[in-house]
Amino acid sequence: MKKEYDVVVLEDGLEYAVIDEITKNGNTYVYLVNVQDEEDFCIRKVVENDTEKFLVGLSSNEEFDEALLYFVNKNNYNLA
């Protein structure tokens, strides 16, 4: 049986599958893959107020690099 992934819609109107969530340093990063194009992916982080959760853009290019590394490390791929 194929694994089912949650799907969200981003600002571009496209559907993205949530392939992973990783919490580091107080931030929860969400790893998203375009349902129609598996090489098209992005990373967002979760912020929440008292009633709702949002997916927001990362703060800097450096944060993107770090978030990408969290994902790579979690999946046990050793690039060193």
Partner 1 sequence: MNNEINYHQKYRKARSKSVGHAKKVKYVKVKTTALKRGALAIALATMIAISGIIYGGGKLIDTIQTTRIVYEATEYGRNIVLQNKKRTANKQFFYYEIDDIATELLKDPENFDRNLYGVYSSIGYNKTSQKEQIEKVVESVGNIAKLHPELGIDSYENFSDYCRQKGFVKEDGSIDYEAYEKAMKELIVDEMNLQKLQEKVSEFKTR
Binding residues for partner 1, rule: CB under 8 A, are 2-11, 15, 17-19, 24-26, 30-31, 33, 35, 38-44, 46-50, 52-69, 71-73, 75, 77, 79-80
**Least Å distance between CB 74 and partner 1?**
11
Provide the residue count of the chain.
Answer: 80
From the CB of 24, what's the least distance to partner 1, in Å? Answer: 8
Q: Are 71 and 79 in contact (CB under 8 A)?
A: no
Q: Count of CB atoms within 10 A of residue 30's CB?
A: 20
> Half-sphere exposure of residue 58, counting CA atoms within 13 Å on the CB side?
17
Minimum separation from the CB atom of position 23 to partner 1 (A): 12
